[in-house]
Amino acid sequence: MGRANDSSLVGFILLGFSDHPHLEAVLFVFVLVFYLLTLVGNLIIIIIWYLDPPLHTPMYFFLSNLSFLDLCFTTSLALQTLVNLRGPEKTITYGGCVLQLYISLALGSTECILLAVMALDRYVAVCKPLHYIVIMNLQLCQQLASISWLSGLANSLIHATFTLQPPLCGNHRLDHFICEVPALLKLACVDTTINELVLFVISVLFLLIPPALILISYGFITQAVLRIKSMVARQKACNTCSSHLIVVIIFYGTIIYMYLQPRDSYTQDRGKFISLFYTMVTPTLNPIIYTLRNKDVKEALKKLISGKLCSFQM
């Protein structure tokens, strides 16, 4: 990459929250608790989807993909964060930083597309209920999930490559707790206007177009729900769609703030805490939101706890 520095040899010093040393012990507990909640919550979603046949529907197929994605996303960042918050040495190798960047970008980008796919699924379920099973067949669901994962991988390859391209000229003090695009670009010792322009265009594709499609879908869904005469059916549709909508707002709100603002207005401290929220808290909220507001998931969870689910599968 034509890197005129020794960062590839010494790696990076992650300054993290060193400006607030009194918070590091609290943040360590915070990250650990939310990481464990993420592991447990998302694993439960995956397990009950696999074991409970009534949940073998398109909606829960995509939800299990989202849970697996969130589990991997948080794991790729939380372990390094815990080590740096706990130990005196807050470093990461250059190779480790590159790997973390590629993985986190791939998983985050995949979630951007997957949430839009889930909105499409809800649109078909509410607006075309009689044709739902025919339209959202297993083959189409697998294809949509594959497109989401492959799109995320492609975006990661482009996004991370352009981020790592500018020379750092020996700068290896990364003012963040993870290897993230805005923080890495601030280390560059050359003009990064072209890089930022390319990254901005890519970000628009993943951070503006999917939410726009989601809003359009929910516009049609709202019209369809208002035409439903049964209050029970209307309530069920609202509960299912509102869960997804809450996840969409939380996820896109924090990501858009991080990636679609001018570099000059990016403040490190605020960016760190926003990153902490969407990397640690949001993946924990997803299974909680879907579980607490979804009758089918709660019933499957009760069967899992009582042992009936496992015995049924066997």
Query: 10-residue block means of pLDDT along the chain (314 residues)?
Result: 49 80 87 94 90 88 94 92 82 90 94 92 90 93 96 92 84 85 85 83 87 90 83 74 80 80 61 82 83 74 71 50
Between CA 175 and CA 244 the distance in angstroms is 34
Q: Domain locations in the chain? A: 7-313
Alpha helices in 172-230 (DSSP H): 181-185, 193-207, 209-227
Nearest-CA neighbor of 101 among 82, 71, 73?
73
d(CA 192, CA 59): 42
Tell me what pLDDT residue 265 has.
54
d(CA 64, CA 48): 9
C-alpha dist (Å) from residue 33 to 25, 39, 124: 12, 10, 37
| Contact status, residue 277 vs residue 81, Cβ threshold 8 Å | no
Q: How far is CA 176 from CA 19, 185, 276, in A?
A: 11, 12, 10
Calpha distance 202→309 (Å, rounded)? 43
Question: Using CA atoms, how far apart are residues 285 and 265, in angstroms rounded to an integer?
Answer: 28
Task: Give, as one character, the DSSP assignment of residue 167.
Answer: -
Terminal CA-to-CA distance of the chain, rounded, Å? 54
Element (H, E) at 14: strand 12-14
Q: Does domain 7-313 have CATH number 1.20.1070.10?
A: yes
The vertex-145 CA angle with 217 and 43, nearest 5°, equals: 105
d(C-alpha 33, C-alpha 46), whole Å: 20
| Distance of alpha carbon 210 from alpha carbon 113, whole angstroms | 6
- Residues 6+ away with beta carbon under 8 Å from 167: 2, 3, 4, 5, 188, 189, 190
Q: In sequence order, what are the residues at sequence separation of 6 or more whose Cβ sits closer than 8 angstroms to the Cβ of residue 3?
A: 167, 168
What is the separation of C-alpha 157 from the centre of its chain, rounded to a whole number of angstroms? Answer: 17
pLDDT for res 117: 94
The CA distance from 2 to 64, in Å, is 41
Q: How far apart are CA 248 and CA 211, in angstroms?
A: 8
What pLDDT shows up at residue 290? Answer: 74
Q: In whole angstroms, what is the distance from residue 95 CA to residue 17 CA?
A: 22
Q: What is the pLDDT of residue 3?
A: 45
Phi, then psi, of 274 in degrees rounded to 5: -65, -40
